[in-house]
Structure 1
């Protein structure tokens, strides 16, 4: 069943005294429920712009984005905000944990805006999610007392605590060493699969992208399907971005 669909999506910005700058050009993408898709691309390829569109933070210049077969453009601001909060979880490269708040308090934060049932159960739900990512003994620790891998696990728990149907992971291993990054990606994929959530990983690292089931490359605003695992096996250098 299709969860997210992009049809001929473009995004451009008007520059002073110049032609519009085209960032995304005719992007087509279908993401099914429970899917794991990776999008790899160099800096400046349009990855961040695409992420903002996928997360309902921006509108395309042209084309349509559908969530549950409903055009996102047709949603009012409040409807879009509620759908984003309930159905989409964001995981950022720099973790973006709230300073001065414990790991548990960071994971509780999204539940402060949840419906009544989740709101009143927020502490229990946050504790369960932290336990699920292996941090049951670190719930009262401040972010600065956690390792990079532990901070990323808190970020994953925070993104998943409301049981989103779509997880957007932006350079999830960019701030981690290779071993920790592999562990975090394995955990993220496992938890997403157990939750039945679709996972979109946006990265410049072809090895991270290869962990997904389907792979795309974004180059100069154009999205094309690629077989990264086959290319890596053949040691094709141009897919290592």
Structure 2
């Protein structure tokens, strides 16, 4: 598809619900009738209180889960028709996750952590994996800490390593779950600027789940998730509802 003059739809959710069965066999309805379209180049922020379903929505967007009902298409493919292995392959080649808890491998250096996703790459990216990982560590200002173990890094440094790992394969879709939660304001702003820059360079979509009003204000589209219902917000409103 030629996207030089148009945006490609990466993820489309139509009337999506997600429910789980509790031990007493009652249904817990987490998401209710979600409609959302994520296009290449989008920068979307989703705000909402704890327990409103934000992480569940992120898991659906990243193919970690499938809807209970409704339609979810990922790059034109119906998610419910894909096997778990097919979803994993598509997720691994297309999605970069930035988690609040970092999820770094404790026995591996910062460089080794960033290299890890490139073991699944093909062709020149696989053979250049060390170079690509070092380049991305340099982008986040940590090339001098490449051989440092995670337990010797500050919280902010660990988050930047996690971001470098998420971006090293140049994903089409970047999903960031509270990416500035462990950072001071200045470092958080730098991290979001980096995420936005890399997304812009590659025409990737960036979807950020956040409580941070400053982070939400950077997005070009804001949504509020409340009791499983998603609704659009003007950017000026995001702070008042997060």
For normalisation by structure 2, the TM-score amounts to 0.92
Between 12-21 and 61-70, the greater mean CA deviation after superposition = 12-21
Matches within 5 A, 1:19-38: 19-38=26-45
Assess if the C-alpha contact under 8 Å between 1:8 and 1:25 holds in 2. yes
Offset from partner CA, 1:60-96 (integer Å, 9 cap, x none): 1001111112211122222211110000000011211
Q: How does 1:1-241 map to 2 (within 5 A)?
A: 1-17=8-24, 19-228=26-235, 230-231=236-237, 238-239=240-241, 241=242
Aligned residues: 235
Q: Secondary structure at the match of 1:104?
A: helix
Contact 1:107–1:126 (CA under 8 A) maintained in structure 2:
yes
Where does the alignment leave 5 or more consecutive residues of structure 2 unmatched? 1-7
Shift of 1:140: 1.3
Structure 1 gap ranges (5+)? none
C-alpha distance in structure 1 between counterparts of 2:227 and 2:114, whole Å:
36
Aligned-partner SS, 1:137 = helix
Superposed displacement of residue 7, structure 1: 0.6
Contact 1:36 1:213 in 2 (8 A): yes
TM-score, normalised to structure 1, is 0.92
The question of whether the paired residues in 1 share the 8 Å contact of 2:9 and 2:37 is answered with: yes
